[in-house]
Amino acid sequence: MPTYDFICNKCEERFEVFLTFSEYGKKTVHCIHCNSENVRRRITKVRIAKSESSRIETATDGLAGMEDVGDDPKALARMMKKMGNDMGEDIPNEFNEVVDRLEAGQTPEEIESALPDLGDPSSE
């Protein structure tokens, strides 16, 4: 059964509903939070399944011409975001925090100093 994403226009909460293809468009959907019928379909990103080698190839192709990103934290953040998106996997919160700090202009050394436990599995 497909899962459809909705947003409630009344309480503005997001929720998912399982509907068969024959039910979609015919069955009234109610918000699971406030029971309102005033809901709209939320269109989500489409994910295309790629093999690991294909994801790595796409990511490494994106590195061409980025040899000097180490001198520019914002360029490094853009590269890391692109690689994260190209890999198509769930990204840990720590990755996003590092990217946010790079976008704010912090150098990798400053980030490492501010987050000494970053990447240390024993700190989890």
Distance of alpha carbon 22 from alpha carbon 15, whole angstroms: 20
- 6: helix, strand or coil: strand
The reported pTM is: 0.41
Do residues 83 and 91 touch, judged by C-beta distance below 8 A? no
| Cross-sheet strand order for the sheet of 3-8 | 14-18, 3-8, 39-41
Residue spans of the domains in the chain: they are 3-41, 52-123
Distance of alpha carbon 19 from alpha carbon 22, whole angstroms: 8
Tens of each residue's pLDDT in the chain, 124 residues: 588 899 999 999 999 999 888 888 899 999 999 999 999 998 876 656 666 677 667 666 655 555 556 677 787 777 777 777 666 666 777 878 888 888 888 888 888 888 877 766 555 5
